[in-house]
Structure 1
Amino acid sequence: MRAIVYRRPGDSSVLEASEREVAEPGPCEIRVRVVVSGVNPTDWKARRGTGTSAGSAAETVPNQDGAGVVEAVGPDVTEFAVGDRVWLAVSAWRRPGSGTAQEQTVTLVDRAFPLPDGVSFDVGASLGVPAVTAHRALTVAEGGPDRLRPGALEGVNVLVQGGAGAVGHAAIQLARWAGANVIATVSSPRKAALAEAAGAHHVVNRHDPDAAEQVRAIVPEGVDVVVEVAAGANAEFDQAVTHERSTIAAYGNDGGMPLAIDFGRALSLNLRYQFVLIYTMGTAAWEAAGAAVTEAARDGVLAVGEAAGLPLHRFPLAETAAAHDAVEAGAVGKVLIDVAGA
């Protein structure tokens, strides 16, 4: 079968085409014919040897998210049957050969989830890391729900920092689906249009000198939950727009600025910083995220494409290096790789 692999860390030039043997699934595993592979920042970071999932010296197939059709199931697997449509999340975590930049991949059954009828493979390949991260960020607040569903965030004010990114996009969609009042920050008029298309009730340009004041004008009492992509750069902003027992769920630190906390204010408010990394979160959180994201996709609220606020950039499997370069360069939207016909 066709695959893209790398055998040492480096820039995208280390990616090369390869022919690999089709593997048989073992216990708790399934083999999936990959239709579409999704590319995330963690993929190029892992390839460079700087990401959370870096460190393998084995032949590695990149990309951890995707969507396709089950071809074979391992012994004792009852969750899926041959022919089922699935979306994959972090399929290659600590499994170098299980990336989705190949025609068939073998992955653990608990990293695969049903792709509802009528939901495209493009949507399925766009879920994974972004949607699971967004779900986790929206469910870590004190007294909040462990799993999202319609009404779960009724009356909750959510601020999504970086609303035009893939995680921000999913967070807007999931929070609105769950009943929250959603405010998003962006950095340009075009990104504002994308955040609005995703479903944000209010959009604020974070470069405005009075951006925090604009958020306070929308929610005078302060926001309940912040979904944060740049914890260091936005620390002062986040601490200015929150209230007693608010939660700042930080999944990224774009820009790399040190995180400075006004300890006195944070202490007096019982402010919670919750750091979010789905690779090391517990089984219960994974099960809740998989079920909720699948339900939301079935309800049609996780659409992708320009009209839904997440432009798509497509590449063939042979151009996986270019797809990685596009993500590393900061492409606005979602980068997908067409692996096989549906």
Structure 2
Amino acid sequence: MKAISYSAFGPASQVLHLVDMRKPEPAAGEVRVALHFSGVNPSDVKARSGSRPGVTKPAFDQIVPHSDGSGVIEAVGAGVSDTRIGERVWIWNGQWQRPLGTAATHITLPAEQAVPLPEDVSMETGAVLGIPGLTAAHAVFGTGEVRGKTLLIHGGAGTVGLLAVQLAKWGGARVITTARGKGMARAAQVGADTVLDYTDPDLGAAILAANDGALIDRIIDTEFGVNAALDAEVITPNGVIAAYGSARDMSPTLPFGPLLFKAATIDILLIYLLPPPQRDAAIKRLHAALGDGALVCPVHETFALADCAAAHEAVEAGARAGAILVDTRP
């Protein structure tokens, strides 16, 4: 099989290489998937660049990156029904704590990590459902229904943010989101009730004004460190701050007093570690929203497998209007 691999940290153009590898046979409980698309996420880029704190070398001698993807099951191991052969699937945790991810023509992994893809959902969308889709679904619905509540979604023009806006509206919430420039229009187009410029010096007041002066029930945050004080200001008592990112400030100083007297819950999300019941619930939410036509997963650009380094560079550049995919088909 063809695959992209790296054995050392560094710039994408220097360390990512197209290689030939043996196609792995599925062991008991596993399936082999002929991949159509691989999703490239910021976590993949950080892992390859070596920018994670305290990590000085790759965990394996040779790594095929990426955790998300879509394709068709072509072989199964013992204990897996052969009726799954030919099944369209999407992948989660493809390269989490294992060396071989989805930046390849094939992947072999535990059968439960290959989720049946609804027939009316495209393979491109399937490759976005892993990290972005599950993060958005759990961030919105992680503590239950949101109908009648107000959600503040920071970064509503990002890949996760756009999905979260749509899922929250589908769930019956009022949605206030932040973005900037062209991203403001994108967030509005997918259903946000109010879109605010996150550089507004009076953003807290603008958020409350958009909610008729009331405090916010649930906050979904892509930059928790930067927004912690603002979140404490606008969250309602006993509200939840669901934080899935803090790249600009990884060691934030928390406003403990304001958070204490709101009895706020800070729910830090790492979708790789989501327990099975919560993951199953998030998958069901995603499939239901897709079935209702309430969820669109935009793709900014698709690259050939041989151009995987350029795909990583596109993620690093930011300012995207959707996901970055790699076409893995032979």
Query: Which bin holds the TM-score, normalised by the shorter protein?
Result: over 0.9
* CA shift for structure 1 position 262: 2.3
Tell me the equivalent position of 2:110. 108
* TM-score, normalising length: structure 1: 0.90
Residue 90 in structure 1 maps to residue 90 in structure 2: no
What is the CA RMSD across the aligned residues, in angstroms? 1.8
Tell me: CA distance 1:79–1:271, structure 2 relative to 1, closer, same or farther (3 Å): farther
Query: AA paired with 1:74?
Result: G
Query: AA paired with 1:77?
Result: V
Tell me the equivalent position of 1:289. 282
2:217 partner SS: strand
Aligned match for 2:255, one of 249, 262, 279? 262
- Matched residues in 1 for 2:82 and 2:42: separation? 30
- Matched residues in 1 for 2:47 and 2:39: separation? 15
* CA shift for structure 1 position 187: 2.1
* CA shift for structure 1 position 276: 0.7
After TM superposition, list the pairs within 5 Å mapping 1:184-203 onto structure 2. 184-188=177-181, 190-203=182-195
Q: CA-to-partner distance for each residue in 1:75-120, whole Å, 9 max, x for gaps?
A: 11249601111111221111112x1111111122222211111111
* CA shift for structure 1 position 254: 2.8
Tell me: CA distance 1:7–1:117, structure 2 relative to 1, closer, same or farther (3 Å): same
After TM superposition, list the pairs within 5 Å mapping 1:19-98 onto structure 2. 19-51=20-52, 55-78=58-81, 81-97=84-100
| Number of aligned residue pairs | 325
Q: CA-to-partner distance for each residue in 1:245-297, whole Å, 9 max, x for gaps?
A: 11111110031264232222211111111111112222222221222222222
Tell me the equivalent position of 1:7. 7
Aligned match for 2:232, one of 222, 235, 239? 239
Q: Percent identity?
A: 38
Residue 338 in structure 1 maps to residue 330 in structure 2: no
* TM-score, normalising length: structure 2: 0.93
- Matched residues in 1 for 2:81 and 2:277: separation? 19
Tell me the equivalent position of 1:134. 136
Assess if the C-alpha contact under 8 Å between 1:66 and 1:100 holds in 2: yes
- Matched residues in 1 for 2:311 and 2:105: separation? 17
Gaps of 5+ in 2: none
- Matched residues in 2 for 1:112 and 1:157: separation? 34
After TM superposition, list the pairs within 5 Å mapping 1:201-216 onto structure 2. 201-216=193-208
* CA shift for structure 1 position 299: 2.5
- Matched residues in 2 for 1:239 and 1:82: separation? 50
Tell me: CA distance 1:80–1:49, structure 2 relative to 1, closer, same or farther (3 Å): farther
Query: AA paired with 1:127?
Result: L
Tell me: CA distance 1:19–1:153, structure 2 relative to 1, closer, same or farther (3 Å): same
- Matched residues in 2 for 1:237 and 1:78: separation? 51
Tell me the equivalent position of 2:219. 226
After TM superposition, list the pairs within 5 Å mapping 1:266-281 onto structure 2. 266-281=259-274
Assess if the C-alpha contact under 8 Å between 1:92 and 1:107 holds in 2: no
1:247 partner SS: strand
Assess if the C-alpha contact under 8 Å between 2:7 and 2:58 holds in 1: no
2:26 partner SS: coil
Assess if the C-alpha contact under 8 Å between 2:147 and 2:173 holds in 1: yes
Tell me: CA distance 1:297–1:80, structure 2 relative to 1, closer, same or farther (3 Å): farther
Query: AA paired with 1:168?
Result: G
